[in-house]
Structure formats: structure tokens, C-alpha cells
């Protein structure tokens, strides 16, 4: 694919904006809304296992709420993506951005005395749909809600440096580092 043939939803600026938003969501829900993460579920599963291991059953049950919201968001984004595509009106990613913006406006207007779970469920749901819908940036597989895969790809690239003959390692390492960071941060 040439640079100009990418969909607008795969552009770098969209990717960066979604990463910024998802990072803010995670920090917001963990710091201010109940101590759970909405942008990815690994930490919530770890917190769940720790709660079960320590016999804190109410805490464990509490963590099932954001995990379930994330699961439902993943399911719904798969189903809606295919359903919307058949209608040929708007692309699912366009609808999702509007839906997510509406959710954020709702949460901004939400009174502060409402339960944290309202915010957690809403943002877990939104992050799951975002992660499931936006899967690449300009042809490079990417995640907008967490960085784990990006760190893995960087480590894999660094490991491949060992396979390069020593005489060309420096030049090749510079090129590979640029490509790796390019795939993570800018473009391939």
C-alpha cells in the first residue's frame, strides 16, 4: 500500500490521538475512579487473582465488573463492525469515534457523587471497542490502548541485531532501530 492509500482511521494522527485518550482513561479510572484500569485488562486480572488469593471476595467480585464490560465491548464492536458494514452508510470506526466522544461528554457531565462503577463500565466498554476496531497504523499492527505489544516488538528487533555480521552491525542496527521506532511511533 502506498502512503496515500491508507484510510484516514489508519493515519498516524488518529493513532496518536487514540493512544493519548486511552492512556488518559486508564490513569483517570485508576487514580480517581475506583483503582481499576479501563484501557487494558491484564492489570485487572492480576488484581482479581490477588484478591482471590487473599480471600477478599468482594474486591474480586468488584473487579469482575470492568472485566465484563471490556468483554462485552469487544463482542459488541465485532458484531457492530460487521453489521454497520452491511448498511454502507458510515464506516464503523467513524461511528465509534462519535460514540466514544458522546460517552466522554456524558462522563464529563456526570455528577461526582455517582458511583465509580458508572465511569469504569463506560470507559472499559469504550476502550474494548477502540482496541478491537483500531488494529493498525498505516499498515503496521498496533494497539491503541496499551503498549505491551510495542515493547515486545522493540525487544524482538533488538534481539535480531545479534544475527547481523559484526562488520555491518552498526549500520544495520541504526536502520533496524529507525524501522522499529518508526513502526511503533511514526510509520513503517
Note the pLDDT tens digit of each residue in 136-162.
Answer: 777 777 777 776 766 777 787 777 766
CA distance 1 to 138: 9
CA Rg value for the chain: 19
CA distance 109 to 158: 46
State the average pLDDT over residues 159-184.
57
- Grid cell, residue 125, equals 466498554
Instruction: Give counts: helices (H), strands (E), the chain.
Output: 7, 2
Q: Would you say the pTM of this structure is higher than 0.85?
A: no
SS3 70: helix
- Enter the DSSP assignment of 187: -
Cα separation values, 143 from 2, 79, 105, Å? 21, 20, 24
Is residue 44 within 8 Å of residue 67, measured between CB atoms? yes
Query: Would you say residue 168 has pLDDT above 60?
Result: no
Give me the count of residues in the chain.
188
Q: Quote the pLDDT of residue 129.
A: 86
Q: Which residues neighbour 7 within 8 Å (Cβ) at sequence distance 6 or greater?
A: 91, 93
Q: Quote the pLDDT of residue 115.
A: 92
Residue 141 sits at φ, ψ, to 5 deg, of: -60, 135
Amino acid at each position: 500500500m502506498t502512503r496515500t492509500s491508507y484510510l484516514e482511521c489508519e493515519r498516524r494522527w488518529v493513532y496518536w490521538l487514540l493512544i493519548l485518550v486511552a492512556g488518559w482513561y486508564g490513569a483517570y479510572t485508576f487514580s480517581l475512579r475506583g483503582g481499576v484500569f479501563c484501557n487494558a485488562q491484564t492489570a485487572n486480572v492480576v488484581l482479581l487473582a490477588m484478591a482471590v488469593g487473599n480471600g477478599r471476595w468482594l474486591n474480586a467480585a468488584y473487579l469482575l465488573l470492568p472485566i465484563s464490560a471490556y468483554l462485552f465491548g469487544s463482542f459488541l464492536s465485532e458484531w457492530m463492525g460487521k453489521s454497520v458494514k452491511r448498511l454502507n452508510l458510515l464506516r464503523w470506526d467513524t461511528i465509534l469515534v462519535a460514540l466514544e466522544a458522546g460517552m466522554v461528554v456524558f462522563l464529563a457531565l456526570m455528577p461526582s457523587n455517582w458511583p465509580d462503577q458508572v465511569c469504569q463500565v463506560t470507559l472499559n466498554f469504550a476502550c474494548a471497542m477502540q482496541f478491537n476496531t483500531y488494529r493498525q497504523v498505516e499498515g503496521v499492527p498496533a494497539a491503541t490502548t496499551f503498549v505491551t505489544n510495542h515493547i515486545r516488538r522493540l525487544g524482538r528487533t533488538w534481539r535480531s541485531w545479534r544475527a547481523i555480521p559484526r562488520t555491518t552491525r552498526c549500520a544495520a542496527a541504526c536502520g533496524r532501530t529507525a524501522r522499529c521506532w518508526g513502526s511503533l511511533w511514526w510509520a513503517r
